[in-house]
Amino acid sequence: MVTPYIFKYLLKLVFCLLLLIAVASKTKAQKSISDSSISVSHIDFMYSLQIPSADLADRFGFFHGIGGGFFYKASNNFEYGGGATFLFGNQLRERSIIDNLLTQNSTILDSDGRAANLLVSMRGWQVRGNIGKVFSFNRPNPNSGVLVRLGIGFMQHKIRVEDRQVNTPQLAWPYQKGYDRLSNGLMLTQFVGYQIYSNTKLVNFYAGIEFNEAFTKNRRAYNFSEKRQDTDARFDSSIGFKFGWMIPIYKRAPKDFYFE
């Protein structure tokens, strides 16, 4: 289900991508991609499956990322750009966040005295700027090859506690802030994989392994279950498989004509 939070994020992402298309619409490929290294702008749509480690693994299991970005590849195969990713998952390991609400039977009661129907999950997002390079070795063409990217950005994540019946006042807004463990901070990222360009705009993609390291802190004033403010520094890292589909912004390369 597309929640208002997700819809708002996707709306902003689409707007930014449309703006970037308008700015870069004059970028052209004057030579065949298979013959020459070219400069080209491209829009990326990506998916990643992330496995958390360090402090992030104490809170969540594996999670997913979907997002997009905009990059410019110069004729020397250096790339510059950035993007944003929406994070989500349903593997929660930090179960103690609602301990103060549990009865002797380990349930949470709603306003009618029945067991509350709760759903807990992971939500978050990342924004980053990247610089990278394609090492082509001129095979199979000078624009395809091993892709290495480095980046710096910002990461935020939280525990989403959803009351499906909207009948549990102790978890209504704004009391949710005392349970969601909202955390954010500076992030570093690295990617290594393989990128394929072709003369068609439909077959251009990359796949590889991504590493993320975020230096975060809990931004809430008080954790209800712990009855304290959490000021500890966190190290939230993850490793995952990432796949990206690229849409180059250039006119189709002209065909070669030969005359006898």
Spell out the per-residue pLDDT of the chain, length 260, in tens.
444 545 555 555 555 555 554 444 444 444 456 667 788 888 999 999 999 999 999 999 999 999 999 999 998 999 999 999 999 999 988 877 777 776 666 677 667 667 667 788 999 999 999 999 999 876 668 888 899 999 999 999 999 888 776 677 777 777 788 888 999 999 999 999 999 887 766 778 999 999 999 999 999 988 887 888 888 999 999 999 999 999 888 655 444 434 34
Find, among 166, 79, 61, 211, the residue nearest to 121 by Cα.
61
From the number of C-beta atoms within 10 Å of its C-beta (0-12, 13-18, 19+), residue 119 rates as exposed
Q: Which residues contact 222 (CB under 8 A, 6 or more apart)?
A: 178, 228, 229
Coil vs helix vs strand at 158: strand
Token representation of residue 65: 């990322």
- Can you read off the two tokens belonging to residue 186? 């500076």
| Spatial contact of 147 and 192, defined as CB atoms under 8 Å apart | yes
The highest-level CATH class for domain 4-249 is: mainly beta
Q: Is 244 helix (H, G, I), strand (E, B) or coil?
A: strand
Are 198 and 33 within 8 A, CB to CB?
yes
Q: Which residue has the tokens 């029945």?
A: 114
Q: Which pTM does this prediction carry?
A: 0.78
CB 69 within 8 A of CB 33: no
199 vs 187: CA distance, rounded Å:
35
Do residues 246 and 42 touch, judged by C-beta distance below 8 A? Answer: yes
